[in-house]
Structure 1
Amino acid sequence: MRNHLLPSAIALAAALSSPAFARPMTEVDLATLKRVAAPAASPDGRWVVYQMTETEPATYKRSTGLWVVDRNAKNAQPVRIADTPGKNETSPAFDKDGALFFLSNASGSDQVWRIDPKAANAAATQVTDAKAEVAGFKISPDGTKLLAWGDVPRECTSFGCDAKDKGAQPGPGTGRLYKDGSGFVRHWDQWETPGTYSRPFVFNLEGGKATMDRAVDGGLVGDTPSKPFGDGSELAWGPDSRTVYFTLRKADRKEPTSTNLDIYSMLVDARMPPINLTEVNQATDTLPAPSPDGKWLAYAAMARPGYESDRQVLMLRNLESGETKKLTDAWDRSVASIAWAADGKSLYVTAQDVLDHPLFRVDVASGKVEKLKASTEEYDGNIGDVTPLANGALLYSRNTVLLPTDLWVRDAKGKAAQLTNVNAAELAQFDPVKVERLQFAGAGGDKVWGQILKPVNATGKLPVALLVHGGPQGSFGNAWSTRWNPRLFAQQGYGTLTIDFHGSTGYGQAFTDSINKDWGGKPLEDLKLGLAAAGKQDAGIDVANACALGGSYGGYMMNWIAGNWPDGFKCLVTHAGIFDLRAMSMETEELWFDEWDHGGPWWERTDGEKWNPVNHVDKWKTPTLVITGELDYRVPYYQSIAPYTVLQRRGVPSELLVFPDENHWVLKGANSVQWHQSVFNWLGSYLKK
């Protein structure tokens, strides 16, 4: 594991200056563009390290490595560090002395390693050598301890052990036994292993090695961080380096119907159980962030149990008195991330806000929320990974609907500048695409937003691809996607339309709530009105020559459109779409979502069949491509086989694309290319250009 320089800036500039390469972006480009994530900054703010994933175009094999940038050097070029051929390095984090810790599988499993990022040709040393793989970690502020987490059986008192309890597989066969009230049976794309959870442990750091590991979850049974998408934002060190804060939802009979994540505190060297700081709230509490002086704990909290898309309010807890206050209760936006300013007088948060996901500053004393400019463009796009630096500057990631993720720095005076541009040479080759924002009166006269993308140099009327987002409580806004990418559709010669229908996020909680028990109502009306409004706003797109596409809830909407707007489109693409709400209510794993959105378990619903696509198949006639993944346990693949069967039996032109190694999303490089090629071939068969 050693450090290496990137190709010279001269070669990069030459690539950027050559217009001869202008061409449409392709599905191969989307799969192989570099992916930046997980930025970390040294204590003095000089050194920035990030992970970058690269994809080999011939094999689509991916590898992830670490790169460092010296912010003090003029025209500094990123340098590869800890480079082990054939292995991955991820999750960089600095200690107080500027040493860099990270995860690597160089020893055969994911473990914590350490390197000096400033030294040329520095060699990395292994820090942990545990029986379990390390999924993530955090270094204590004083640098003497390491908090790590990973999948560990409950019976283990150390980070991994040879489990003796064979109760999960009783008898001579291969069957797993899930005992009464044990929680999830399967989740997202994995069958649960009974008795094994994601658990946090603390190690001492002595002489560059991790020693004396001990669990910090006490007798609690559940996953920390939460699965499948929880991460390090659900755990935090206190500034005293003695206290750990973590979130956990109890794994019991209620787990599949519960959104009750609680925040616990634990003195790591005390013989005391963890303390539940949020026991009074039966809804979600998450994102624990202690203040620099240790007096306050900031966190995000929802109010309604069982509702995963409730508004997350920024909370402050006095750690001495236990008193709490809702800092952003008057702000009708949902806090997605939290970071303290160094002086402890304000917090930096992000939140979805009308197509963008900007950066905000919240004053601790007053709760006043101020939107901060975080780019040099009119719209800031999608801001994440916010890291306050020592000099009052901010490091963060940024992407837009046109540009993949790079790192930016906003100085103490408020000036934003781009720090990395890892795909500059590739992006310079692509034909330019322009974006128009669409605003129209939707269902009930409410203001609804959308976007129209198309090639800058397009001539004549373009056929339309209407992309419908999933969630349904989400947004198809000004953000880059490696799966449903509006720019890529526009580069194929389509006027690409996205609409944030009723139920979308970033427009106030009432707008988000409005889809509850109304899946096929206002959203469908918004899509109809939005398609018409787009045609009026942009005469260069032909809304009568259109296909519609969607995944998850967007796939549900395709199935709903097939029976309730059968003359609206030349073709449809439904990916992982819900076809039968009755079956879905008992096949999906996170029951809280289905039961909140539709009014409880199936046998308690008064109008369960009202928005069920299966009841309208007698009107299906639109040619449809159906796509699913066999590892999808959120919307199981039976929900895709059934509509394909209907289409075939009714003689409707249809195809079924099944990925045996994908879940609810198509993530692997070669599969992504195949997905897009199949979709573009389908659109091209029915849309006249």
Structure 2
Amino acid sequence: MTNISKSNLIIKNRKFTAEALWSMGRINGYDLFDNKLLYTVSYYDIPKNGSSSHIIIKTLNSKEYTDLTSKMRDSNDQLTKNCAQSQTNAIFDKNGRGILFNSNGKLFEYYFDSEQVEQLSTGSLDISEFKISPDYSKCLFISSVEHSYKNEDYNDLPLTSGMIFEDLNYRHWDEFNTSLPHPFVSKLNNMKFEDHPFDILENEPYESPLKPFGGIEQLCWSKDSKKIAYTCKKKVGKEYATSTDSDIYVYDTETKTTINLCKDFEPKNYGFDSNPMYSPSGKKIAWVSMERDGYESDRSRLIIFDLGTKKKSFVSEWFESNVESFDWINDCQMVFTGVWHGLTHIYLIEINNDNELVNHEQITTGQYDYKSVKWFGNMLIVKRQSMIEADELYELDLKTKEIKQISFENDFIYTQIDKASVQPKWMKTVDNKDMLVWVIYPPHFDSTKKYPTLLYCQGGPQSAVSQFWSYRWNFLLMASEGYIIIAPNRRGLPGFGMEWLEEISLDYGGLCMKDLLTSVDIMKEESYVDSDRLGCVGASFGGYS
């Protein structure tokens, strides 16, 4: 693998370009130990046609940082040098003496004192993601098991790549289902694998996590390190392909027994259920739950299951949009992110001992999208983006609501460019309803001039047009080329209530299309919009639009 490091791009004429976009660092996972922040960031290189993931370590109150990956590349130890080529899922170990990470399908630890790595995993299984149990006695990890569709009637053609399918589900997006992700568990002795890992879903034709987008967030350890909650859709063939009904299962590593939290207890859950997380005491477990089977764009709600009383409580019914990232603060407080009126903010909820909602409040403000939240015992670390700024990490004080930036990956880009500006506009639709439209203006916008204008058509078709940063549909890049961009939250988008979300159903060429055209018609009345130079961009349902 080619070594790729952080770009030192020099930008000319203060113009944000495609080269600048691909020179930006893309922050992924993060962890905290005392006042040390760890995060992984991906760097890309166009001439080399590749990318590399780096581990960054810094103290919270300083801009200074250590690129641990680059340091490892310079090591005299060959194993340490080799591990620097690929690093993912990095976290601090129990005592902060080192860092656990995944490299080339194996689990390693880097020790700060020796500045060398040690391989912890054994055997032939490749590890894609992992979670260490709270008592550090076990490792839960994801590995693929073979699920072949080759027909045994053609054993005389051993070199053929052909496959015979007689049922669904044989393909996800761009890959055939020749393997299944399964959760494995191995005991640890001084952090090293002690025994042969066992497969929680051994001989079962199911996935956990779920393809194509699921990851380790769909599984979690219980606080006593004895049980594993995991997301699984235990269906095959056509039933798998036509259903969204996944469930939360709890597997006991000691008794080898499994219970289904969604179907074994009332009320039963029949929609898409995922992302379980135990409360700090271990007495409760929360996850996100959709109500209806077969409806991919149903509202995602936050549910709490009391492991003692077996009671289920939906605690986000007041929020008529989707619960996205969430975390426990304590057994009676939680935070989550969700989109409302084109902004994804963080909300704090308080519940009583019966898991009944007592209070809820929005605790962040501003024209941003908050994409993840993690509670580290005394502080909340969050990831934030907007249409003109990529992901960075922030520290949020729950008491004062103060927010402080703690990562600065892309300052070297921002200091060299002139940014676009973004304004919300509310417009009347053809049926006299209010629609939020984001308008993105070029740098140095001059209202006395005329500008070519693009209509952005969202895909999904039920995905929010919020303050998102995209490396595919990048509004800052479009605006920097001199375009005004119109980005409507047309019919069918979340964040405006269920009626607005579901008005697109069975009407894909109707009001949602009129909403798009309405936004252009209204903006054409502005003197600075050149009505002779109008275009549109979009993919998936956006391309259909």
Q: What TM-score, normalized by structure 2, do the two folds share?
A: 0.89
Residue in 1 that maps onto 2:175? 190
1:357 to 344, 362, 366: 344
Counterpart of 1:492 in structure 2: which amino acid?
E
Residue in 2 that maps onto 1:202? 185
Secondary structure of residue in 2 paired with 1:223: coil
Residue in 1 that maps onto 2:145? 152
Q: 1:385 Cα shift?
A: 2.7
1:125 to 98, 118, 129: 118
Q: 1:140 Cα shift?
A: 0.7
Cα distance, 1:176–1:265 mapped onto 2, change above 3 Å: farther
Residue in 1 that maps onto 2:332? 345
Identity within the alignment, %: 24
2:206 to 222, 228, 244: 222
Contact 2:106/2:119 (8 A) holds in 1:
yes
2:395 to 409, 412, 418: 409
The Cα offsets for residues 358-386 of structure 1, whole Å up to 9 and x where unpaired, read as 11111122423211126xxx32x121231
Structure 1 position 28 matched with structure 2 position 19: yes
Q: State how 1:396-545 maps to structure 2 within 5 Å.
A: 396-413=382-399, 414-459=401-446, 460-536=449-525, 538-545=526-533
Contact 1:169/1:177 (8 A) holds in 2:
no
The Cα offsets for residues 296-343 of structure 1, whole Å up to 9 and x where unpaired, read as 1111111111001101111111112322111112321211122100x3
Structure 1 position 371 matched with structure 2 position 362: yes
Q: 1:126 Cα shift?
A: 1.4
- Structure 1 regions of 5+ residues with no counterpart? 155-162, 558-689
Counterpart of 2:107 in structure 1: which amino acid?
V
Contact 1:532/1:543 (8 A) holds in 2:
no
Structure 1 position 394 matched with structure 2 position 367: no
Cα distance, 1:351–1:100 mapped onto 2, change above 3 Å: farther
Q: 1:552 Cα shift?
A: 0.3
The Cα offsets for residues 429-476 of structure 1, whole Å up to 9 and x where unpaired, read as 112211111211124222111111122313411010111111010122
Cα distance, 1:130–1:385 mapped onto 2, change above 3 Å: farther
Q: State how 1:172-187 maps to structure 2 within 5 Å.
A: 172-173=156-157, 174=160, 176-178=162-164, 180-181=166-167, 183-187=168-172
Q: State how 1:535-684 maps to structure 2 within 5 Å.
A: 535-536=524-525, 538-557=526-545
Residue in 1 that maps onto 2:273? 285
CA distance in 2, matches of 1:169, 1:241: 46
Structure 1 position 143 matched with structure 2 position 136: yes
Secondary structure of residue in 1 paired with 2:325: strand
CA distance in 1, matches of 2:292, 2:361: 26
Secondary structure of residue in 2 paired with 1:265: strand
Cα distance, 1:171–1:347 mapped onto 2, change above 3 Å: same
Residue in 1 that maps onto 2:290? 302
Higher percent of residues as helix: 1
Contact 2:142/2:216 (8 A) holds in 1:
no
The Cα offsets for residues 218-260 of structure 1, whole Å up to 9 and x where unpaired, read as 5643111111111122111110111100001124121111101
Cα distance, 1:275–1:320 mapped onto 2, change above 3 Å: same
1:275 to 256, 259, 272: 259
Structure 1 position 90 matched with structure 2 position 93: no
Q: What TM-score, normalized by structure 1, do the two folds share?
A: 0.71
Contact 2:425/2:436 (8 A) holds in 1:
yes
Q: State how 1:34-113 maps to structure 2 within 5 Å.
A: 34-42=25-33, 44=34, 46-71=35-60, 74-82=61-69, 83-84=72-73, 87-105=85-103, 109-113=104-108
CA distance in 2, matches of 1:168, 1:52: 45
Higher percent of residues as strand: 2
Secondary structure of residue in 1 paired with 2:467: coil
Secondary structure of residue in 2 paired with 1:310: coil
2:299 to 292, 311, 316: 311
Q: 1:103 Cα shift?
A: 3.8
Residue in 1 that maps onto 2:324? 336
Query: How many residues align structurally?
Result: 515
CA distance in 2, matches of 1:60, 1:171: 39
CA distance in 2, matches of 1:507, 1:475: 10
CA distance in 2, matches of 1:543, 1:48: 50
Q: 1:129 Cα shift?
A: 3.1
- Structure 2 regions of 5+ residues with no counterpart? 74-80
Counterpart of 1:34 in structure 2: which amino acid?
G
CA distance in 2, matches of 1:545, 1:6: 38
**Bigger relative contact order, structure 1 or 2, given CA contacts below 8 A and separation 6+?**
1
Structure 1 position 134 matched with structure 2 position 127: yes
Counterpart of 2:177 in structure 1: which amino acid?
E
Contact 2:219/2:230 (8 A) holds in 1:
yes
Q: 1:176 Cα shift?
A: 4.8
Q: 1:147 Cα shift?
A: 0.5
Q: 1:6 Cα shift?
A: 9.3
Counterpart of 2:118 in structure 1: which amino acid?
T
Cα distance, 1:308–1:420 mapped onto 2, change above 3 Å: same
Contact 1:402/1:433 (8 A) holds in 2:
yes
Q: 1:216 Cα shift?
A: 1.8
Contact 1:6/1:79 (8 A) holds in 2:
no
The Cα offsets for residues 255-291 of structure 1, whole Å up to 9 and x where unpaired, read as 111101100001112232x211102322111111111
Could you say what the CA RMSD is over the residues aligned between the two structures, in angstroms? 2.4
Secondary structure of residue in 2 paired with 1:466: strand
Contact 2:188/2:194 (8 A) holds in 1:
yes
CA distance in 2, matches of 1:32, 1:172: 50
CA distance in 1, matches of 2:180, 2:440: 44
CA distance in 2, matches of 1:192, 1:472: 25
Contact 2:145/2:181 (8 A) holds in 1:
yes
Cα distance, 1:38–1:169 mapped onto 2, change above 3 Å: farther
Contact 1:452/1:534 (8 A) holds in 2:
no
CA distance in 2, matches of 1:204, 1:363: 37
Secondary structure of residue in 1 paired with 2:324: strand
Q: 1:203 Cα shift?
A: 1.0
Secondary structure of residue in 2 paired with 1:67: strand
The Cα offsets for residues 137-158 of structure 1, whole Å up to 9 and x where unpaired, read as 111111111100021137xxxx
Q: 1:115 Cα shift?
A: 2.1
Residue in 2 that maps onto 1:211? 194
CA distance in 2, matches of 1:221, 1:443: 50
Residue in 1 that maps onto 2:227? 243
